[in-house]
Structure 1
Amino acid sequence: MKASLYLVLATLFWSGNYVVGKASVASMAPLELTFWRWALAAVPLLFLAQFVEKPDWRAVLRRWPALLFLSALGMSGYTLLLYGALGYTSALNASLITAANPALIVVMAIVLLGEKTTRLGWLGICLGLFGVLLVLTQGELSRVLSLSINTGELLMIGAIIVWGFYTIIARRLDVPAIAATAVQVVMAAVTLAPFALALNVQFPDTPAEGWSMAYIAVFPSLGAYLLWNLALKSIPPGTAGNYLNLMVVFTAIITVALGTPLTLVQVLGGTLVVAGVLLTGTKGRARAKGKAGLNAA
């Protein structure tokens, strides 16, 4: 039950990141947003890890190759792709593409970890991917053949592939969740620092940028990544991935509340995606093999 609540809150915080990030990229570059996001979150996360878990930091750091790889995927790679995408597409479209991630994670779990699914599960995967195609092509499926898809949406496809690998690998990491998240964040801030210096990245100097960075540093950075990693200790990657579809709902609610209307294609595509994930997540996925490390606690 706690793990489910963690995943719901994580997706809510990430949904806000889509909306705030979309507003922020108008005046801040993706590298600028990504660097300050992790630089501001790094020290608080280290203190939180020490206070809650009191980990053996030497043992944690012995896993530095895996942690560095996860940091490059989930903290640097995914975030840069996300903010890059938001410069070209809407927050809602970005969240709708993210909603394909559960299907992608299930496929990755099947290929990489030996998880099993049924024909109903495959139907759900196909239904969800069809819904994403509707959004990508704005209802004109022939655009797929001509590769006439928005640059931002292509960047989001890259982002969800990166996040899929992050989820699969993080699930098998035997490091305390908060400590693992903290070290990954520190690594992201350190590895991005030379690029930030080279590009003369400045700290946000307007109230709007300051409040945006405060939200991004506290909720989608500290809160969401921490809760996601905690949940992955007791929930399989495919199951956790299903919760990402709540981002569509949360982002749509926030978008409408801010006065942006939904299009029929967005509503239809989102409905198909969520329906597909429900099929994949509730009835479609068979029980995983024990040796794959996917049994829920």
Structure 2
Amino acid sequence: MRAPLYLVLATLFWSGNFVVGQAAMRSMTPLELTFWRWALVAVPLLLLAQWVERPDWRAVLRRWPTLLLLSALGLSGYTLLLYSALAHTSALNASLITAANPALIVVMAMFMLGDRPGPVGWLGIALGLFGVLLVLTGGDLQQILHLSFNMGELLMLGAIVVWGLYTIIARRLDVPAIAATAVQVAMATISLMPVALAAGAGLPDTAEGAWSLAYVALFPSFGAFLLWNLALKSTAPAVAGNYLNLMVVFTAVITLLLGMPITVPQILGGLLVISGVLLTGMKRRTRQPAMAEQSART
């Protein structure tokens, strides 16, 4: 099963994007970082798609309306909202709102796709969300009552809604994963270019900004979106969305590697998050034989 590994790696890369992206905001604007992260990987992704998949590009481009919509949602829209939010809110509040993404994807998938998780699936989502809250509050869940929402939190709410739509729509796209990602990146680059040029978006002029952009372009941009789209070929949106809870676990690990202490609530919360992901994945695997049998009958 490669899909779970792809989802874990994608969330790991995106976890670093929260930390590095917030650091990049000290020397770049959200528009600059969003434009350059896609502009730098557009050509490499197109070349990789040709080398690995050798797709029928005419057939791929016939799906241009869906690809353009996905590009506007997941690449331009979500990224701009995320970086704009990080310029106005704390990492705690942003991560807490992101933790609601799996539950939101489940609700959206219920209405848009008819997916209905069973009791085990709901238990996995609940455990994951509780683990996230435990990590973010340091074991003091009463802190949630004191969180106030400003423009940054509102932008993050918009970001997770956009990402939920992206995940659900991408699941039904019948285009090779690498080619789909590459075309979306190229579309984002082209559509953002006039705005970026008008705003005078330039490359960072500091070492910190340059290294931040390099990381964002290579891992959250090139790697994570590619792995996420590969995983969605065999994974339901609700199951994939639950893996996003792992970002708080990886954030805790990154914090430890940076020399900051890790607490018992963070460890316990991380275990709950991992348990929730495993429960959701277990439910998915147990349903696959029945689904395959039903497909064979139709």
TM-score by length of 2: 0.84
User: Match for residue 11 of structure 2?
Assistant: 11
Counterpart for residue 48 of structure 2: 48
Letter in 2 for 1:139: Q
CA contact (8 A) 1:92 1:255 kept: no
Deviates more, 1:73-82 or 1:242-251: 242-251
Measured after TM superposition, the shift of residue 258 of structure 1 is 2.3
Corresponding residue number in structure 2 for 1:76:
76
Asked whether the equivalents of residues 103 and 128 of structure 1 are also in contact (C-alpha less than 8 Å), the reply is: no
After TM superposition, the structure 1 = structure 2 runs for residues 273-292 of structure 1, keeping only pairs within 5 Å, are 282=282, 287=287
Q: Does structure 2 retain, via aligned residues, the 8 Å contact 1:124–1:279?
A: yes
- Per-residue displacement from partner, 1:146-183 (whole Å, max 9, x unpaired)? xx314323222221111111010001001111010000
- Asked if structure 2 preserves the Cα contact closer than 8 Å seen for 1:22 and 1:83, the reply is yes
Number of the residue aligned with 2:154 = 154
Describe the shift of the 1:92–1:261 C-alpha distance in structure 2 as closer, same or farther (beyond 3 A): farther
Map 1:130-169 onto structure 2 (within 5 A): 139-140=142-143, 142=145, 148-169=148-169
- Stretch moving more, 54-63 or 204-213: 204-213
Structure 1 distance, partners of 2:285, 2:180, is 29
Work out the CA distance in 1 between the residues paired with 2:266 and 2:153. 14
SS in structure 2 at match of 1:139: helix
Which residue in the other structure is 1:35 paired with? 35
2:57 matched to which residue of 1? 57
Q: Is the 8 A contact 1:100 1:273 kept in 2?
A: no
Using structure 1 for the length normalisation, give the TM-score: 0.84
The corresponding residue for 1:196 is 196
Q: CA deviation at 1:260?
A: 4.9
Cα distance, 1:246–1:35 mapped onto 2, change above 3 Å: same
Let me know the Cα RMSD of the aligned residues.
3.1
Question: Which segment is superposed worse, 261-270 or 57-66?
Answer: 261-270
- Distance in structure 2 (CA, Å) of the matches to 1:50 and 1:190: 20
Partners in 1 of 2:259 and 2:150 — Cα distance?
23
Question: % of aligned pairs identical?
Answer: 70
Q: How many residues align?
A: 290
* Alignment-mate amino acid for residue 142 of structure 2: G
Task: Tell me the distance in 2 between the aligned counterparts of 1:58 and 1:133.
Answer: 47
Gaps of 5+ in 1: none
- Aligned-partner residue type, residue 186 of structure 1: A
Q: Which amino acid aligns with 1:243?
A: Y
Q: Which has the higher mean CA deviation after the structures are superposed, 151-160 or 24-33?
A: 151-160
Tell me if structure 2 keeps the 8 A contact 1:35–1:196. yes
- Check the 8 A contact 2:239/2:284 in 1, yes or no: no
Question: Greater CA deviation, 225-234 or 80-89?
Answer: 80-89
Displacement of 1:184 after TM fit? 0.3
The 1:160/1:249 distance shift into structure 2, 3 A limit, reads same
Is residue 172 of structure 2 the alignment partner of residue 172 of structure 1? yes
Does the CA contact (< 8 Å) of 1:143 and 1:149 recur in 2? no
The Cα of 1:76 is off from its aligned counterpart by 0.4
Mapped contact 2:243–2:277 kept (Cα < 8 A): no
Structure 2 CA distance for aligned equivalents of residues 203 and 90 of structure 1? 25
